Structure 1
Amino acid sequence: MIFLLLSILASTLIFIIFKSFTKYNVNTFHAIIINYAIACFTGVLNYDAPISIANIINAKWFLGALFLGFLFISIFNVMALTAQRNGLSVASVASKMSVIIPIMFGLYAYNESANALKVIGIILALVAVYLTSIKNKSIGFTTKGLWLPLTLFLGSGILDTTLKYIETTHVAKNGIPIFSATIFFIAGCIGVITLGAKSIKTKINFNYKSVVGGFVLGIVNYYSIYLLLKALQVDSFESSTIFTINNVAVVMLTTLLGLLLYREKLYIKNWIGIGFAIVSIILISIS
């Protein structure tokens, strides 16, 4: 249970850190690049076996790690923009409601049942993403500003599905630290290449705020994934229980902190959306 509680705290802190970047004028992309270097180094420190580059490249999970590295840095940028432009509650709900995507994958790949509760839960999740994304009093339907939370929703779902599939089929029980470190290393390399391309046209300056922000984010980011994977390995808890408690707790805690720390304004429809999010996760898990 301690792994799950710490994972919830780490996942919530990621949203808070992204929101704080705006307040303290931290360059988000620079901090994200530094974050992956720190996260990779943290994973290496946590690995208690000899590290072989050849073994990593030849590992069954390496190609999957390449794909995940690209997804990590892409979705992390989208998550940061969503938290900064749409609010903490929107970012947390959009990313955590993406749990329906690996569930839908399970229906197709593993022939899992699709009963009424599960279908209702999926529909409510989609409605929840829209309702929590509306940050004005208008009642009419609008797509303005929805592309960020929707992209975060889809990207996070694909990331979780791929991560879980590779971890369960190709990663040894003691291989989580080096697997995670490799993903973070690849994401960092992509970030450096992107930054290098930008530097051709624009001068790049790293400031101390980006370094500090990236350092803190890197440690929290690594442990948010490491602790969740450790919680999933506990035999006394089913994965559906772990994901449900984790997602609901992060949504609620992030929303509460958004209200307390940043005075975020939530309208009735936002609260309804958050309520739908919680109900949909519960319905999906008990189905």
Structure 2
Amino acid sequence: MIYLLLSILSSSIIFVVFKLYNKFGVNTLQAIIVNYYIACTVGFFGYIKNLEISEIPAQSWFPGTLILGVLFISVFYLAAITTQKSGLSVVSVATKMSVAIPVFAGIFLYKESTGIFKLSGIVLALVAVYLTSIKTREGLSIKKENLIFPLLVFLGSGIIDATINFLETTYVSETDVGLFSSTIFAIAGIIGTCILLGQAIAGKLKLSLKNVLGGVALGIPNYFSIYFLVMALRNPGFESSVIFTMNHVGIVTVSTLVGIAFFHERLLRKNWIGIFLAILSIVLVAYN
């Protein structure tokens, strides 16, 4: 349980860092790419011993990290497009509702339990995520021609979680968790660097120290959000569908409370209802 709590805390810190990006005018793409290298470095120097870089491609989980690296960058790009076309709330809902994919993958692919308390908790969790993420009285407004973008963010985010769970369950040994996590970030960073090189060739790249610092601030909690999530999934006492549900709902709840405490965000009635349902869903899923 401690790994799950640490994963929730790390992910909530990411929320704070993104909030500060807006305040200080940080270029999100550049910071994200720097963040991948920082996250990779944290893992390589802090959690990996006796490493031979040349041996990484021979690992059974390496092809999966290539897929995850591409997905990390792709989902970020799609999230940026969705924000521009439909707003931040749409991205927030699409990302957080994606928990349905790894949860149902756990139930149908790994034959995990489906008790009444657990199923009720999962349904309440999805409702809670939606209600907590909507920050306007009008709700979501998406033009039909733009619907494809949040749908792809939903699918991409869910596939990332489901793929991490599959690789962790099937290929990643306990001693390889740090190396596995770092390799994902390294690949995403390399792909991101290629994007920046393309911008530089086109004469559109403007580097700034604050973007680098923003990447450093993001990279450390980002590494631990993945590392601790993988460690939580290794706990034999909890099924993956339970871990993912509690992780996403916990992040939504903590992030919302942090927004109130530190950024003076004002919540609507439906946001408070969402927080209540989030807590209730955690109780039901944990009780099952």
The answer to whether TM tops 0.5 is yes
Q: Partner of 1:212 in structure 2?
A: 213
Shift of 1:235: 4.8
After superposition, where does 1:185-264 map in structure 2 within 5 Å?
A: 185-235=186-236, 239=240, 242-264=243-265
Q: Tell me if the contact between 1:133 and 1:270 (Cα under 8 Å) persists in the aligned partners.
A: yes
After superposition, where does 1:56-135 map in structure 2 within 5 Å?
A: 56-76=56-76, 86=88, 91=92, 95-112=95-112, 114=114, 120-121=120-121, 123-135=123-135
Note the alpha carbon deviations across 1:153-210, whole angstroms, 9 max, x for none: 4332211110010011011110111111111111011111112222232331211101
Relative to 1, partners in 2 of residues 1:12 and 1:76: Cα closer, same or farther, differing over 3 Å? farther
Relative to 1, partners in 2 of residues 1:191 and 1:90: Cα closer, same or farther, differing over 3 Å? closer
Q: Partner of 1:42 in structure 2?
A: 42
* 1:222 aligned partner, one-letter code: Y
Q: Partner of 2:270 in structure 1?
A: 269
Q: Secondary structure at the match of 2:174?
A: coil
Q: Tell me if the contact between 1:6 and 1:227 (Cα under 8 Å) persists in the aligned partners.
A: yes
Q: Tell me if the contact between 2:125 and 2:245 (Cα under 8 Å) persists in the aligned partners.
A: no
Q: C-alpha distance in 2, partners of 1:80/1:227?
A: 26
Shift of 1:215: 1.0
* 2:250 aligned partner, one-letter code: A
Aligned Cα RMSD in Å? 3.3
Q: Partner of 2:142 in structure 1?
A: 143
Q: Secondary structure at the match of 1:252?
A: helix
Q: C-alpha distance in 2, partners of 1:206/1:250?
A: 31
Relative to 1, partners in 2 of residues 1:80 and 1:222: Cα closer, same or farther, differing over 3 Å? farther
Q: C-alpha distance in 2, partners of 1:69/1:106?
A: 22
Give the stretch that moved more between structures: 24-33 or 276-285.
276-285
Relative to 1, partners in 2 of residues 1:109 and 1:4: Cα closer, same or farther, differing over 3 Å? closer
Relative to 1, partners in 2 of residues 1:133 and 1:230: Cα closer, same or farther, differing over 3 Å? closer
* 2:214 aligned partner, one-letter code: G
Q: C-alpha distance in 1, partners of 2:200/2:261?
A: 39
Q: Secondary structure at the match of 2:12?
A: helix
1:166 equivalent to 2:180? Answer no
1:26 equivalent to 2:26? Answer yes
Q: Secondary structure at the match of 1:50?
A: coil
Q: Flag structure 1 segments of 5+ consecutive residues without an equivalent.
A: none
Relative to 1, partners in 2 of residues 1:198 and 1:282: Cα closer, same or farther, differing over 3 Å? farther
- How many equivalent pairs are there? 283
Shift of 1:149: 6.4
Relative to 1, partners in 2 of residues 1:129 and 1:31: Cα closer, same or farther, differing over 3 Å? same
TM-score, reference length from structure 1: 0.82
TM-score, reference length from structure 2: 0.82
Q: C-alpha distance in 2, partners of 1:34/1:211?
A: 6
Relative to 1, partners in 2 of residues 1:35 and 1:203: Cα closer, same or farther, differing over 3 Å? same
Q: Partner of 2:6 in structure 1?
A: 6
Q: Tell me if the contact between 1:35 and 1:217 (Cα under 8 Å) persists in the aligned partners.
A: yes
Q: Secondary structure at the match of 2:71?
A: helix
Give the stretch that moved more between structures: 198-207 or 58-67.
198-207
Shift of 1:19: 1.2
Relative to 1, partners in 2 of residues 1:107 and 1:230: Cα closer, same or farther, differing over 3 Å? closer
Shift of 1:57: 1.3
Relative to 1, partners in 2 of residues 1:280 and 1:101: Cα closer, same or farther, differing over 3 Å? farther
Q: C-alpha distance in 1, partners of 2:58/2:203?
A: 38
Give the stretch that moved more between structures: 106-115 or 26-35.
106-115
Q: C-alpha distance in 1, partners of 2:280/2:154?
A: 17
Q: Flag structure 2 segments of 5+ consecutive residues without an equivalent.
A: none
Q: C-alpha distance in 2, partners of 1:9/1:132?
A: 18
Q: C-alpha distance in 1, partners of 2:36/2:182?
A: 9
Shift of 1:220: 1.2
Q: C-alpha distance in 1, partners of 2:113/2:232?
A: 25
Shift of 1:110: 2.6
Q: Secondary structure at the match of 2:190?
A: helix
